[in-house]
């Protein structure tokens, strides 16, 4: 039997891609695209904190930048401390990378204020969240939203400056900034500093921001400024806009030390109350002293000036009486602040106080002086006195350093006035007045043509007698004719002269009228002198304080 070998033949078949595989690939691609779009549309989430959620709706309220939608609100909740509304927003990834740490968000809704009307378009479309991307730092995860829309965007060309003032006045965010009547910027924001002074931030647009130099002065232009001087009453208004909203104005002024005037060393400036006050720099250093006055402080008030050589170097802050139970005397300590830089002293308070202490040892004293006799206002004058007593530096009960004082000159004036009034009281004023009155009446009687003994009546009688004599002389012999003719000429000349006198002294004559006015004014002056004498006799202090009311 023969063994048979069986040989197996391997047949290889080639593999081919089936079209059926395109279905899962296409489905995978579509799913990936849908996932990518969902991931992309979901955006990058961040939280914005607002005070209120008014007008904000989940899935509906949009986030816009320059009116372009870049995101939506995904959820609304409360912060952990329940003081803010936490609004979660999803920002499109294409724009999210452009957000920075100083990005700002605010809710745009209808707003009607005294200055602007905005957001009226949201009456139909609903409120939305607007934003500015900022310019520094990375995208924040949480940011505090603004209560009000910012007045200027971060992309505005210009520069921001800070003004300091004691009071804000009628200014608000959005108030204009003027340069020679042109609105060149506006107030951006304001805060209260640690020194209890206002910090007002203003933005000035380009190219006007280059006008701000070291010699630039800013002042408040609230409403209308009224002033009164010898030329009358003057009113000044920057513009109708400043009258309605208030605002700030600035100009460059000429200064003595102008070597560095055309440069800008700092963005911080003082805001003056008005244009007239820019002539005096605001005091950066203040020294507080107590001035003990033992005499009268009549006419002194809070805010009264402290002067030295005619310059305003300080003001009165407060004053109140102090009773000493040991001496049974009443002193009136006056609290004042002095500004050493007004006297070109160092701005360092300690150095300036040391200089004042040395000046006090050399006789520097404070003294009251009247500045207006009509209103009775007084000020404090600081000057050197050769006869000043020795002063030893000390402090009062409130730990304020004491500034030595001298008796007021007004007391010496009062003593001088009393002496003058005593001399007036001894003078024969009444007799003089009576003599002037009798003289006026005598002169009036002399010129009164109705009286028989007046000058006019006697002149008229003389003319009548002369005419009668001439009539009788016509019957005399002819040899007297020449004499009579000469006499007639003389009498005619006399008659002409008397007529001129009569015309000058007649009832309607100008000289007669002037003489009568003179007599009447003389009588009035006599009555006024008599009244003055009676007033001074009853009220000797009327020369300083005026006539008292009945």
pLDDT value of position 388: 82
Q: Does residue 510 register a pLDDT over 50?
A: yes
pLDDT in tens, 357-389: 889 888 899 888 887 766 778 888 999 988 888
Q: Does residue 484 register a pLDDT over 70?
A: no
Q: Distance (Å, rounded) from C-alpha 444 to C-alpha 67?
A: 97
440 and 380 co-located in one domain: no
Closest-CA residue to 251 (of 201, 203, 200, 179): 179
Reported as a pLDDT band with limits 50, 70 and 90, residue 49 is very high
CA distances from 165 to 188, 283, 450 (A): 15, 12, 79
Among 97-101, 403-407, 450-454, whose mean pLDDT is lowest? Answer: 450-454
Reported as a pLDDT band with limits 50, 70 and 90, residue 507 is low
268 and 165 co-located in one domain: yes
Reported as a pLDDT band with limits 50, 70 and 90, residue 76 is very high
489 is written with which tokens?
Answer: 């000429």
In this structure, is residue 354 part of a structural domain? yes
In this structure, is residue 1 part of a structural domain? no
131 and 80 co-located in one domain: yes
408 is written with which tokens?
Answer: 């007021």
Contacts by residues 187-196 (CB-CB < 8 Å, ≥ 24 positions apart): 187/151, 187/247, 187/248, 188/150, 188/151, 188/152, 188/160, 193/164
- Domain enclosing residue 265, as ranges: 158-279
Q: Distance (Å, rounded) from C-alpha 107 to C-alpha 149?
A: 8
Place of tokens 């006024």: 528
Q: Is 50 left (phi over 0), alpha (psi -120 to 50) or beta?
A: beta
Q: Does residue 250 register a pLDDT over 90?
A: yes
Reported as a pLDDT band with limits 50, 70 and 90, residue 114 is low
163 and 255 co-located in one domain: yes
Q: Is 449 exposed, middle or buried (0-12, 13-18, 19+ CB in 10 A)?
A: middle
Q: Distance (Å, rounded) from C-alpha 65 to C-alpha 358?
A: 65
Q: Does residue 332 register a pLDDT over 70?
A: yes
In this structure, is residue 23 part of a structural domain? no
223 and 293 co-located in one domain: no
More confident residue, 471 or 315: 315
More confident residue, 447 or 95: 95
pLDDT value of position 230: 43
How many C-beta neighbours within 10 Å does residue 523 have? 17
In this structure, is residue 216 part of a structural domain? yes
In this structure, is residue 447 part of a structural domain? yes
Residues 271, 167 contacting (CB under 8 angstroms) = no
Reported as a pLDDT band with limits 50, 70 and 90, residue 512 is low
Final residue belonging to a domain, choices 256, 279, 302: 279
Average pLDDT over residues 163-181: 85
167 and 272 co-located in one domain: yes
How many C-beta neighbours within 10 Å does residue 359 have? 14
More confident residue, 270 or 479: 270
In this structure, is residue 343 part of a structural domain? yes
Final residue belonging to a domain, choices 279, 301, 331: 279
Question: Mean pLDDT across the chain, nearest whole number?
Answer: 75
How many C-beta neighbours within 10 Å does residue 132 have? 20
Q: Distance (Å, rounded) from C-alpha 381 to C-alpha 408?
A: 10
Residues 201, 161 contacting (CB under 8 angstroms) = yes
Residue 119: CA count within 13 A, CB half-sphere: 16
127 and 178 co-located in one domain: no
CA distances from 351 to 50, 312, 347 (A): 50, 20, 8
Final residue belonging to a domain, choices 144, 174, 194: 144
Domain count, the chain: 4
Residues 97, 139 contacting (CB under 8 angstroms) = yes
How many C-beta neighbours within 10 Å does residue 63 have? 24
DSSP E strands, 303-419: 305-308, 311-319, 322-324, 329-338, 364-372, 377-384
132 and 47 co-located in one domain: yes
Q: Distance (Å, rounded) from C-alpha 153 to C-alpha 115?
A: 18
Reported as a pLDDT band with limits 50, 70 and 90, residue 410 is low
493 and 443 co-located in one domain: yes
pLDDT in tens, 280-303: 666 778 888 998 887 778 778 888
Q: Does residue 229 register a pLDDT over 50?
A: no
* 416: three-class secondary structure by DSSP: helix
Q: Is 337 exposed, middle or buried (0-12, 13-18, 19+ CB in 10 A)?
A: middle
294 and 275 co-located in one domain: no
Average pLDDT over residues 272-280: 77
166 and 76 co-located in one domain: no
Residue 373 phi, psi dihedral angles, 5° rounding = -70, -25
DSSP for residue 138: P
* 227: three-class secondary structure by DSSP: strand
Q: Distance (Å, rounded) from C-alpha 87 to C-alpha 195?
A: 36
Q: Is 219 exposed, middle or buried (0-12, 13-18, 19+ CB in 10 A)?
A: buried
In this structure, is residue 372 part of a structural domain? yes
In this structure, is residue 547 part of a structural domain? no
305 and 352 co-located in one domain: yes
pLDDT in tens, 136-149: 777 788 888 888 77
């Amino acid at each position: 039997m023969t063994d048979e070998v069986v040989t197996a033949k391997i047949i290889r078949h080639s593999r081919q891609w089936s079209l059926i595989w395109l279905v899962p690939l296409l489905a995978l691609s579509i799913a990936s695209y849908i996932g990518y779009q969902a991931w992309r549309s979901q955006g990058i989430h961040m939280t914005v904190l607002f005070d209120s959620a008014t007008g904000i709706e989940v899935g509906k309220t949009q986030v816009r930048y320059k009116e372009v939608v870049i995101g939506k609100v995904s959820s609304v909740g409360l912060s952990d401390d329940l003081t803010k509304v936490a609004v979660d927003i999803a920002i499109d990834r294409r724009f999210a990378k452009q957000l920075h740490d100083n990005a700002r968000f605010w809710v745009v809704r209808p707003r009607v204020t005294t200055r602007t009307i905005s957001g009226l378009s949201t009456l139909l479309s609903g409120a939305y969240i607007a934003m500015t991307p900022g310019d520094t730092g990375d995208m924040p995860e949480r940011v505090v939203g603004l209560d009000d829309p910012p007045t200027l965007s971060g992309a505005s060309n210009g520069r921001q400056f800070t003004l300091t003032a004691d009071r804000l006045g009628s200014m608000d965010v959005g108030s204009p900034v003027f340069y020679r009547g042109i609105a060149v910027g506006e107030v951006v924001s304001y805060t209260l500093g640690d020194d209890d002074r206002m910090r007002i931030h203003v933005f000035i647009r380009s190219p006007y921001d280059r006008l701000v130099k070291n010699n630039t002065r800013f002042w408040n232009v609230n409403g209308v400024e009224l002033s009164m001087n010898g030329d009358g009453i003057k009113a000044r208004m920057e513009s109708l806009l400043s009258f309605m909203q208030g605002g700030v104005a600035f100009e460059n002024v000429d200064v003595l030390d102008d070597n560095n005037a055309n440069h800008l060393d700092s963005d911080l400036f003082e805001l003056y109350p008005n244009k007239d006050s820019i002539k005096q720099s605001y005091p950066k250093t203040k020294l507080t002293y107590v001035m003990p006055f033992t005499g009268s402080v009549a006419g002194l008030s809070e805010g009264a000036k402290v002067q030295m050589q005619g310059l305003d170097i300080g003001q009165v802050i407060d004053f109140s009486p102090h009773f000493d139970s040991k001496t049974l005397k009443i002193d009136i300590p006056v609290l004042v602040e002095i500004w050493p830089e007004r006297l070109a002293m160092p701005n360092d308070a300690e150095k300036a106080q040391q200089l004042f202490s040395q000046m006090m040892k050399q006789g520097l004293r404070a003294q009251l002086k009247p500045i207006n006799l009509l209103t009775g206002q007084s000020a404090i004058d600081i000057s050197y006195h050769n006869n000043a007593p020795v002063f030893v530096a000390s402090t009062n009960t409130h730990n304020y350093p004491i500034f030595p004082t001298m008796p007021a000159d007004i007391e010496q004036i009062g003593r001088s006035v009393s002496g003058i009034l005593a001399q007036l009281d001894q003078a024969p004023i009444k007799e003089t007045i009576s003599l002037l009155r009798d003289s006026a009446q005598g002169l009036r009687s002399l010129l009164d043509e109705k009286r028989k003994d007046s000058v006019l009546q006697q002149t008229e009688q003389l003319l009548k007698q002369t005419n009668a004599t001439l009539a009788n002389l016509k019957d005399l012999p002819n040899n007297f004719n020449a004499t009579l003719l000469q006499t007639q000429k003389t009498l005619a000349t006399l008659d002409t002269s008397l007529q001129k006198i009569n015309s000058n002294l007649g009832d309607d004559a100008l000289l007669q009228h002037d003489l009568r006015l003179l007599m009447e004014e003389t009588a009035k002056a006599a009555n006024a002198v008599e009244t003055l004498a009676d007033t001074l006799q009853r009220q000797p202090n009327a020369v300083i304080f005026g006539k008292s009311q009945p």
